[in-house]
Amino acid sequence: MPDPSRHLNLWKQHLGVVPPEIWEQTHLETLVLADNDLTELPAGIGRLKNLRMLDVGHNRLEAVPDSLGDLEALSDFLYLHDNRLTGLPETLGRLTRLRYLNIGENAMDHFPECVCAMQSLWELRASDNGIAALPDSLGSLTNLRELHLRNNRLTTLPESIGRLRELRQLDLRGNPLTHVPDCITTLPKLDKVDLRWVDTLADAKWMEVLQARGCAVYR
């Protein structure tokens, strides 16, 4: 059975600030601080080098510390969603074992380049931001299975998306897309593309090709 002493759940405890004694619990593997009206995540978080999962979603964070990149054991989940983040520190690129990242519902107008170094990601959620473009380095995420980009400001996707050979689901709802590269048809495992609430994109041959092979394209 899991050791309960390694898992600390402080969800919705109205903390306001993180109790400093938490940073001494270096044995922790999971830590939930979601929905606590936090405005700051102290640098002490970097001491918790055994963490596999961290949830600081549903707070009021405007930034996260560089020391978050010291948590190189993070492999399961990192929830940063529903905060006020405008970006991420480059140090987060050291989280190369992480499989799930949620940075949705923030205030980012650019895609954080450091995310593209997280080469173990299976699922990436960046919905409900103000992201206007994706970097070519997105193609480095060759293990990615799900990419959720709903309600951003994307008008196109980079050609490098054709390197995401493990991609199954692509959520593009609510973006002002005008072009999607044809290389999307070369993704062998893609089985769902969601284009609902996209009224700027004309019908294209790639949609027919995907549908003909059994991929669901929602309009």
Find where tokens 């080098």 sit. Answer: 49
Question: Mind listing the pLDDT tens digit for each residue in 158-217?
Answer: 999 999 999 999 999 999 999 999 999 999 999 999 999 999 999 999 999 999 999 999
| 40, 84: one domain | yes
| 17, 74: one domain | yes
CATH of the domain at 218: 3.80.10.10
Confidence at residue 2, expressed as pLDDT on a 0 to 100 scale: 60
Structural tokens at position 87: 């970006």
Say if residue 155 is exposed, middle or buried (CB neighbours under 10 Å; 0-12, 13-18, 19+).
Answer: middle
Q: Where in the sequence is the domain holding 172, given as residue range(s)?
A: 132-219
Whether 117 is in a domain gets the answer: no
| 201, 102: one domain | no
- Classify 34 in phi/psi space as left (phi over 0), alpha (psi -120 to 50) or beta: beta
| 36, 103: one domain | yes
Whether 78 is in a domain gets the answer: yes
Whether 127 is in a domain gets the answer: no
Whether 158 is in a domain gets the answer: yes
| 165, 75: one domain | no
Count of domains forming the chain:
2
Measured between alpha carbons, how far is 199 from 46 in angstroms, rounded to an integer?
44
Question: Mind listing the pLDDT tens digit for each residue in 201-219?
Answer: 999 999 999 999 999 999 9
| 102, 201: one domain | no
